[in-house]
A and B are shown apart, each in its own frame.
Chain A
Amino acid sequence: MTNDQWHIDMSLVIGQFSYVISIPSPPSLNMLKRKDLLGIQDISREEILDILDTAESFQEVSKRPIKKVPTLRGKTIINLFFEASTRTRTSFEIAGKRLSADVVNISSSTSSVSKGETLIDTARTLDAMAADCVVIRHSASGAPHTLSKLTKASIINGGDGAHEHPTQALLDACTIRQRKGRLNDLKVAIVGDVAHSRVARSNVHLLTKFGTHVWLCSAPTLMPPGIEKIVCDHGEFLHVTRSMDEALEQADVVMMLRVQFERMNESFFPSIREYFRYYGLTRARAERAKSDVIIMHPGPMNRGVEIATDVADGPYSVILDQVSAGVAVRMAILFLLLGG
């Protein structure tokens, strides 16, 4: 984006509304030099910081009486959701609309054999309609990668199978940084259904890049093989344990994962009762963590399965902060991918 275009946009808005727009000033902007956001694994610390810095400046927009800036006026964003989602889809929709983009939601249930054809043909169709960005959520790992090879539109991964959920990790990082003042040198415990969790994988990639110690904790049946080696460059920051007490000991952040019953076609643990006994977050367990611990959950929660209600709703919980950060982070990503 050039400065000239920027000022034209600004003046229009100033004519339209009676207050001064203050979103990040153009010279400081570092647009993402990539077409897509497919995962955290292959993006740099600098790109992550650009997204987080931009997100913080966008948080202010959501606090205004008129929560809208004209930045992406004329851009078309399509939310292509092949899996049920409330918060991610709504969050992307609100983010796009607050940036004045046109947002179209497509929900599609995946039908057995024809779903791939549907995906590819749908992608080409959307491209032919000149969509600028497609946010895709799909139960198949790699579906966004398949799309990105076929479309001119920017692809944002809104969660693919058990692979990655990059915008969730970014909003988690945004929340952690605001609460803890940094992303390095922390102890973060990620507890629960690691095997089926794309949130865990994206968070592991992100937090280890910044030099924070991540402790993954779950029953051996829910710990995928080789998990301790999934980080390429900063493996020394990743730890794996089956003891929740060890994971929580002096933790700065506790991130609980949802038990993904819908992805389980075999027996991973005997009962919810027994699962909660070993891996449920209770107030007593939470006391092993630091006194200023924050407790996170990507949602939707299974209360009484992985987290006790008094903890979820208690003073250390930042679960709703995560949701708020989600809108700002997604505004930042859309802006940095499409704004240039």
Chain B
Amino acid sequence: MDLLVKNGRVIDPARKIDAVTDIVIRDGKIQLIGAATVPGIPVFEATGLVVAPGFFDIHVHLREPGTEEAETIASGGSAAAAGGFTAVAAMPNTKPPNDNPSITHYILSEARRSSPARVFPIGAITKEQKGETLAEIGEMFEAGIVAISDDGKPVMDSRLFRRALEYALMFDMPVIQHCEDLYLSNGGVMHEGVYSTRLGLKGIPSAAEETMVSRDLILAEMTGSKYHAAHLSTRQAVAMVREAKARRLRVTAEVTPHHFTLTDAAVAGYDTNAKMNPPLRSADDVAAVVEGISDGTIDVIASDHAPHHINLKMLEFDSAPFGITGVETAVGLALTKLQLSMTRLIELFSINPQKIMKVAPWGLFEGSNGDLTVLDLNRNWTFDVNQSRSRSRNSPFHGWSMKGKAVGTIVGGKVVYQDRA
């Protein structure tokens, strides 16, 4: 695909680019960055807009295979594109889980066929995510996975997790952990604190996350492996990662938009769209997450897009599943709620995700994939969940007004999403 992206503010912090100029894409690859007049190819007018290297959401659940009533690779990929993401990394908790190369192949072929955004599968650490024996990590790597994780079923067995970290060294892949000590969380449904006590709901203490982060950092140091902490939510967890980075461990961390915008107060009224894991924490934790984003402790903002069918989300709070959709609101919430430089924002959404997952070529240079995210920093808009491209509707951000939006998503020179005011 060919495309001329005209007159945008082109920013790539990794290559120290920040200039109003043009980008020419030929056959899906960037051919030229600089003032250009190329007759006969389609033009994407970007005057007044920011043009960034493609945004990459490294924590989404596409639900296919197995739970297609909630989401498919096609619908999730389409929603991601509408949120400004040119790529997503898909967690392995499908049915069956992505714990062997045949599932990896299926996800990749279905993504090529139907998803506007690129899809990079994450493989399971253990067979069936059961936490008992290692999955076929090498074969999945050859099939195309970019990381391993048992996702919402954290590896509780410390010895097995050590082996996973060691084994991943063969492929230099990150091991992603959902940090939760299941003994401490033990059936909890929201953050443990005043609100859980007032509402009579079983709490998940901050310590459930923190003890797991603490153990994992010790094992990551011992093995020298690449460790990525998913969706951190507590002050102490952020502090421990900060300290680990100061000691030069190969540790990275992500946070979700809901953990920097909402607190456990949102659960009052028993809204199941305020039920996610890790749970919405206290105002102090939210402040700590925002500090972590600002000071570089946090590498990535990822949505933890977790679609669930309305039939499940309309259950009582105790019975409803954890998770909310997020790919369409992540960029808007970051632009609206965080006071970040464009450089820092692009690091969080594009440069760092690429570095962690090592997908290439990525960024604004000649020969790289023509994957671009175009932002309108001044666009005022309101999220309407009923217009979502996801198959599910479980968002707590319905009706939220935001300033700043992804208005163009370009994958391999093809405009897969645009929103002209």
Contacts and interface: CB of A to CB of B under 8 A. Distances in A.
Contact of A116 (B186, B193, B314): B314
Contacts of A138: 316
Interface of B: prevailing SS = loop
Interface residues of B, number: 25
Interface string A262-291: 000110000000000000000000000000
Contact of B196 (A139, A146, A224, A265): A224
A117 B315 contact: yes
A162 B200 contact: yes
A: contact size bracket: 20 to 34
B187 A201 contact: no
A140 B197 contact: no
Nearest to A225: B192
A1 interface: no
A242 interface: no
Contact of B317 (A141, A225, A227, A266): A141
Given A115-B319, A141-B270, A142-B270, A230 B314 contact: no
B310 to A, nearest CB: 11
A110 to B, nearest CB: 9
B186 A141 contact: no
Nearest to B192: A225
Contact of B194 (A113, A119, A143, A229): A229
Interface in B176-200: 186-187, 192-200
Contacts of B270: 141-142, 145-146
A161 interface: yes
Contacts of A141: 199-201, 270, 317-318
Interface in A159-188: 160-164
B319 to A, nearest CB: 5
Contacts of B311: 117
Nearest to B282: A226
Interface string A128-152: 0000000000111111011000000
16 contacts: A113-B319, A120-B314, A140-B317, A141-B200, A142-B200, A142-B316, A143-B316, A145-B269, A161-B200, A224-B196, A225-B197, A225-B203, A225-B205, A226-B195, A226-B196, A230-B197
Interface of A: 41, 113, 115-117, 119-120, 138-143, 145-146, 160-164, 198, 201, 224-227, 229-230, 265-266
Interface of B: 186-187, 192-203, 205, 269-270, 311, 314-320
